C-alpha cells in the first residue's frame, strides 16, 4: 500500500496550537477558581436597610449615653451657661430619631431625622469649643491638672459621633438597590470602619486619662484600656487586608467591647455605692462618683463597627 505524505507543519501552525492550549488551560484554571470561591452576595435593599438600622442603633446608644452623662455633669455645674442645655435637647431628639430609625424598614432617607442628626453634630462641635475654652482659661492652661478636673474635652465628641453615625445611617438607607452605599464619594464600609476605629481611639484616650486620675485602683479599670484598643487595631487591619479571619476576629472583639460597655456601667454603679452613704446618699454620690452613663459609649461604637464590617464585606463580595 502506498504511504501517505503529509505536508510539513509550519511554524505559524505550531504557535497557534500552543496558543490554543494555553487559552484552554487558562479557562480551566478560571473555572476552578470560580468553583472554589464563596458565592457572592447580591446587594439588595434588605442588606442596605439592615446596615442602616444598625447605625441607627449605634446612634441611639451614644445619644442615651450623652443625654444621661451631660445631664448629670451639667446639673453638677448648675447650668451656669445657658448653652449647657443644648446637648441635652440635642441628644434627646437624636435618641427619639434613632429609635424611629431602628424600626423604619423603608429604603430611603428621612429628612427630619437627617436634620436632627446634622444639628446634633454641630452642637457637639460647639461644645468641643466651649470645653476647650474652659480648660484653657484656667491657671496653667493645657495642663494635666486641668485635663483631670476641668470640663472633659472629649465628652462633646460623643455627640459629634452620634450625629455623624445618624447621618451615615440615612445616607446608607438612601442607596438605590443594586448599588453600593457611599459616603463622601467613597465606599461607605471603608469610611465607617475608619470612623469607628477613630471613635474608639478617642474614647480610649478619654477613659485612659480618667482612669489614670483614679490610679487604676480597681484592676477592672484596665479592661477599657486593653480590650477596645485591640478592637480598634482589628478594625484597622480590616482596612488593609481582605483575609476573612481578620474580619471574624474584629467582629468577635467588637462584640466583647459592646458587652464591656454594659459591664462598665455596672462597675461605675458599684463605684458610686462605695462612696460615703452609698446609694442612700445617691443625690450626692451620683454627681461625684464615676459616671455611670459613660461606659455604654463603647457599646455604641462597637455596634457601629459591626455595621461597618457588614458593609465592608458587602463591598468586597461585589469586587
Sequential DSSP letters for 155-182: HHHHHHHHHHHHHHHHHHHTPPTTS--E
Q: State how many domains the chain has.
A: 1
Judge whether 52 and 173 are in contact, CB under 8 Å. Answer: yes
Measured distance CA(238)–CA(221) in Å, rounded: 28
What's the pLDDT at 10? 53
Who wins on pLDDT, 240 or 159?
Answer: 159
Burial of residue 314, with CB atoms counted within 10 A of its CB: 0-12 exposed, 13-18 middle, 19 or more buried? buried
**Do 117 and 170 contact (CB within 8 A), yes or no?**
yes
Report the length, in residues, of the chain: 319
**pLDDT per position as a tens digit, 188-223:** 999 999 999 999 999 999 999 999 988 898 999 999
Return the pLDDT at 44.
61
Among positive and negative, which fits the CA dihedral 240, 246, 248, 254? negative
In a domain, residue 237? The reply is: yes
Residue 7 inside a domain? The answer is no
Instruction: Please check whether residue 38 lies inside any domain of the structure.
Output: no
The answer to whether residue 313 is domain-embedded is yes
Residue at 280 is within a domain: yes
Summarised one tens digit per residue, pLDDT across range 32-84 is 344 333 444 445 677 888 999 999 999 999 999 999 999 999 998 889 889 99
Alpha carbon distance 114, 173 (integer Å): 11
| Residue 91 belongs to domain spanning | 43-318
Does a structural domain hold residue 216? Answer: yes
pTM listed for this prediction: 0.83
**Per-chain mean pLDDT for the chain:** 86
In a domain? residue 25: no
Instruction: Look at residue 273 and tell me if it is in a domain.
Output: yes
Amino acid at each position: 500500500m502506498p504511504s501517505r505524505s503529509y505536508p510539513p507543519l509550519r511554524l505559524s501552525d505550531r504557535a497557534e496550537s500552543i496558543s490554543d492550549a494555553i487559552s484552554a488551560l487558562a479557562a480551566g484554571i478560571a473555572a476552578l477558581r470560580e468553583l472554589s470561591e464563596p458565592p457572592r452576595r447580591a446587594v439588595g435593599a434588605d442588606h442596605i436597610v439592615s446596615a442602616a438600622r444598625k447605625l441607627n442603633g449605634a446612634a441611639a446608644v451614644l445619644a442615651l449615653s450623652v443625654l444621661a452623662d451631660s445631664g448629670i455633669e451639667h446639673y453638677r455645674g448648675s447650668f451656669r451657661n445657658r448653652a449647657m442645655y443644648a446637648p441635652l435637647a440635642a441628644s434627646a431628639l437624636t435618641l427619639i430619631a434613632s429609635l424611629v430609625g431602628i424600626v423604619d424598614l423603608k429604603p430611603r432617607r428621612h429628612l427630619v431625622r437627617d436634620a436632627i442628626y446634622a444639628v446634633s453634630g454641630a452642637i457637639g462641635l460647639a461644645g468641643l469649643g466651649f470645653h476647650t475654652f474652659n480648660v484653657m482659661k484656667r491657671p496653667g492652661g493645657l495642663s494635666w491638672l486641668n485635663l483631670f478636673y476641668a470640663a472633659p474635652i472629649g465628652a462633646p465628641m460623643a455627640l459629634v459621633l452620634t450625629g455623624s453615625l445618624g447621618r451615615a445611617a440615612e445616607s446608607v438607607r438612601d442607596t438605590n438597590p443594586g448599588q453600593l452605599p457611599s459616603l463622601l464619594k467613597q465606599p461607605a464600609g471603608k469610611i465607617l470602619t475608619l470612623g469607628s476605629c477613630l471613635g474608639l481611639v478617642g474614647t480610649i484616650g478619654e477613659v485612659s486619662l480618667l482612669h489614670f486620675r483614679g490610679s487604676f485602683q480597681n484592676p477592672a479599670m484596665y479592661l477599657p484600656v486593653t480590650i477596645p484598643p485591640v478592637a480598634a487595631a482589628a478594625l484597622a487591619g480590616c482596612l488593609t487586608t481582605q483575609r476573612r479571619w481578620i474580619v471574624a476576629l474584629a467582629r468577635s472583639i467588637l462584640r466583647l467591647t459592646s458587652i464591656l460597655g454594659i459591664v462598665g456601667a455596672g462597675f461605675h454603679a458599684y463605684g458610686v455605692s462605695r462612696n460615703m452613704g452609698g446609694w442612700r446618699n445617691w443625690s450626692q454620690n451620683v454627681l461625684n462618683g464615676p459616671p455611670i452613663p459613660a461606659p455604654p459609649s463603647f457599646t455604641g461604637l462597637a455596634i457601629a463597627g459591626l455595621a461597618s464590617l457588614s458593609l465592608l464585606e458587602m463591598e468586597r463580595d461585589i469586587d
